[in-house]
Amino acid sequence: MNVSEAITNRISVRAYLDKPISKDIITSILDTARWAPSGTNTQPWKVIVVQGKTKDAITKGFLDAQKNGEKPSPDYQYYPEVWVEPFKARRFQCGMDLYKALDIGRENKDKRIKAALDNYRFFGAPVTLFFFIDKIMGKGSWFDMGMFYQSIMLTAREYGLGSCPQASTSDYPDVVKGILAVPENFDLICGLSLGYPDDSKPVNQYRTRREEVESFTTWAN
């Protein structure tokens, strides 16, 4: 698989096979991704690989927080406070396409709630990687984290693995930091579900839409 194929064929996998991933494979993926660029080579990433009982405990913590009516309180603001076009329309279309793939009607509230809570179950993935960054670092280092994160997702494809970047898993940072004993000087950025895709599931067949190059590119000669 070449780089272009890895990028254009990557999807956010939301259904996984019940198949473990070896520690050697995960280590190899991280060993490749660590070569991602970062400003002045600061390498600001901190990763915790979570599976088994620890992953189950985090899921329970998320679901309990939801059940108790606790509002999400992430370490940072991912989305804008007020949605404007064209972002509002793109977000809406993404949601509608996903619900169609999941066969969830607009009025089916119960299925919508379950679909949302499946984020906290990591869609059944056997492994989740949590990403942290020291609070002292600036916005540029968050940019570096994105390049590192993307490198992991693309390298995973070389091993036949799928992944799903999940900002939702940063909703309750205290749950994650408490279970994983992460120092308070770190912000939780997000999680990344990792596993072998279940290609028989319709949710893994749909693709989000992308704008054409001309819509976002200006040439200055």
pLDDT band of residue 70 (cuts 50, 70, 90) is very high
Residue 153 has pLDDT above 90, yes or no: yes
pLDDT in the model for residue 67? 94
- Overall CATH class of domain 3-208: alpha beta
CA distances from 186 to 133, 135, 139, 174 (A): 5, 5, 14, 11
Average pLDDT on 167-180 reads: 97
The pLDDT of residue 106 is 77
> Which pLDDT score, from 0 to 100, does residue 8 have?
94
Any idea which of 64-68, 97-101, 180-184 has the lowest mean pLDDT? 97-101
Q: Tell me what pLDDT residue 1 has.
A: 82
Phi, psi of 43 (to 5 degrees): 45, 65
Model confidence at 107: pLDDT above 90: no
Q: What's the pLDDT score for residue 140?
A: 97
- Per-residue pLDDT reduced to its tens digit, 12-57: 999 999 999 999 999 999 999 999 999 999 999 999 999 999 999 9
Residue 102 pLDDT > 80 = yes
Mean pLDDT for 197-216 is 94
What are 120-124's contacts with CB under 8 Å, separation 24+?
Answer: 120/59, 120/62, 120/63, 120/66, 120/168, 120/169, 121/59, 122/55, 122/59, 122/164, 122/166, 122/169, 122/191, 122/193, 123/13, 123/14, 123/15, 123/16, 123/164, 123/193, 124/15, 124/16, 124/18, 124/195
Phi, psi for residue 128 in degrees, rounded to 5: -130, 135
Residue 170 has pLDDT above 80, yes or no: yes
Q: How far apart are CA 58 and CA 178, in angstroms?
A: 9
pLDDT of residue 202: 92
Residue pLDDT, tens place only, 184-206: 999 999 999 999 999 999 999 98
105 pLDDT band (50/70/90 cuts)? confident
CA distance 217 to 45: 30
Per-residue model confidence (pLDDT) at position 81: 94
Q: Is the pLDDT of residue 142 over 80?
A: yes
What number is the average pLDDT over the span 140-169?
A: 97
- At 147, the amino acid letter reads M
Kindly report the average pLDDT of the chain as a whole number: 96
Give the pLDDT score at 109. 86
Reply yes or no: is the peptide bond before residue 126 cis, omega within 30 of 0.
Answer: no
Percent of the chain's residues with pLDDT above 90:
90
